[in-house]
């Protein structure tokens, strides 16, 4: 945090010109200022547009391609309706995805610098996407910038897990934390963001190389539902398997109960790939655990993540003792 002693008006106005400042506290004639900074996230955070505005987040949109046409994964799905997207997947249309490129990150950083803001970038897990590497290369281009700083966090999670990391960063900023303080906090706190989910169609995991072809075929025939988890390295790991959708949701609810940390914020997000009925069932299961946890957001898994997990995926994202 900057500790600035003002000896005269000339010093004062020079700082006003160079910084967009917020007064944090004042004691013994000293004025403490926190320089403003923007929080940049990928559209894979899967938050609603309304919540994005509330948290004051800047979005670096990811893209996906269907039938040779490129779409932008906006949080309000204005490029392609999310239900239409999942119907296309069910009809056999293949979706591929691409990360934010280096130049797009550079443009976003420069735009925020021009506003007088430093930048904190929260990236989709590097174990699941090359997006982090693009962001890192862009950030390296500004390491010697004379006036502004940019920090990058590998969230090591995806979808509404990223959303929870962004929420935590936004709240830390709102408390008056500096860019450096928020960065250091998030680098530790991200390991308390847990994600458990199940998929409905194993063939999407096969296509992404996360499940063998034979296992996918027999698993589909036997109605096997894998329980997946995002581990400490941000990888998608199969943890358990069961038969039947409802049993899979019950296991996820049990995992929430086992690992939820009551000393942390007592809310949870649920994401779904166009299966609101199952998502609301999981919501009811979690809120019925008797641990005081409320599901405050039920939202779609966006097209970029949905392209890899397929329709019918259901996940719970919450603050845990550990991943």
Model-wide pTM > 0.85? yes
Q: How far apart are CA 323 and CA 200, in angstroms?
A: 23
pLDDT at 212: 41
CATH architecture of 39-190: 3-Layer(aba) Sandwich (3.40)
Q: Is 192-319 a domain of CATH 3.30.1180.10? A: yes
Q: At what angle do helices 160-174 and 179-189 cross, to 10 degrees?
A: 140
Q: How far apart are CA 51 and CA 103, in angstroms?
A: 27
Q: Are 205 and 211 in contact (CB under 8 A)?
A: yes
Neighbour-count burial for 129-152, b at 16+ CB within 10 Å, e otherwise: bebbebbbebbeebeeeeebbbbb
Closest alpha carbon to 155 in 113, 197, 183, 196:
183
CA trace torsion 260, 238, 73, 307 (10° rounding) = -150
Same topology between domain 39-190 and domain 192-319? no
Neighbour-count burial for 219-249, b at 16+ CB within 10 Å, e otherwise: beeeebbbbbbbbeebebeeeebbeebeebb
Domain ranges of the chain: 2-35, 39-190, 192-319
Q: How far apart are CA 170 and CA 165, in angstroms?
A: 9
Q: Are 290 and 256 in contact (CB under 8 A)?
A: no
- The CB density around residue 30, as the number of other CB atoms within 10 Å, is 11
Task: For the chain, list residues with pLDDT below 70.
Answer: 1-33, 205-223
- The CB density around residue 53, as the number of other CB atoms within 10 Å, is 11
pLDDT, tens digit (0-9, with 9 covering 90-100), for 83-133: 999 999 999 999 999 888 999 999 999 999 999 999 999 999 999 999 999
What does R_g of the chain's alpha carbons equal in angstroms?
Answer: 21
Looking at the DSSP assignment, which residues form a beta bridge with residue 193? 319
pLDDT at 238: 86
């Amino acid at each position: 945090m900057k500790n600035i002693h003002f000896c005269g008006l000339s010093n004062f106005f020079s700082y006003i010109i160079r910084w967009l400042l917020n007064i944090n506290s004042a004691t013994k004639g000293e004025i403490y200022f926190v320089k403003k900074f923007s929080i940049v996230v990928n559209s894979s955070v899967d938050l609603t547009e309304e919540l994005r505005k509330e948290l004051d987040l800047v979005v670096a949109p990811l893209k996906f391609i269907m039938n040779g046409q490129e779409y932008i994964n906006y949080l309000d799905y204005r490029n392609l309706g999310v239900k239409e997207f999942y119907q296309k997947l069910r009809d056999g249309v293949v979706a591929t995805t691409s990360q934010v490129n280096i130049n797009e990150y550079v443009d976003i950083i420069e735009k925020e610098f021009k506003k007088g803001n430093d930048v904190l970038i929260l990236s989709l897990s590097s174990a699941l996407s090359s997006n982090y590497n693009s962001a890192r290369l862009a950030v390296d281009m500004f390491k010697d910038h004379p006036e502004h700083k940019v920090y990058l966090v590998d969230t090591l999670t995806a979808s509404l897990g990223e959303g929870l990391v962004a929420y935590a960063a936004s709240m830390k900023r709102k408390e008056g934390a500096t860019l450096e303080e928020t960065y250091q906090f998030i680098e530790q706190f991200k390991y308390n963001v847990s994600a458990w989910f199940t998929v409905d169609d194993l063939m999407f995991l096969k296509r992404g190389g996360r499940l063998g072809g034979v296992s996918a075929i027999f698993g589909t025939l036997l109605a096997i539902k894998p329980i997946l988890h995002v581990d400490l390295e941000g990888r998608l790991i199969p943890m358990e398997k069961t038969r039947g959708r409802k049993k899979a949701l019950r296991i996820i609810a049990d995992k929430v109960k086992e690992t939820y940390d009551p000393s942390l914020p007592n809310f949870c997000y649920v994401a779904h790939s166009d299966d609101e009925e199952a998502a609301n069932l999981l919501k009811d299961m979690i809120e019925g655990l008797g641990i005081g946890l409320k599901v405050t957001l039920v939202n779609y898994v966006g097209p970029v993540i949905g392209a890899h997990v397929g329709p019918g995926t259901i996940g719970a994202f919450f603050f845990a003792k550990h991943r």
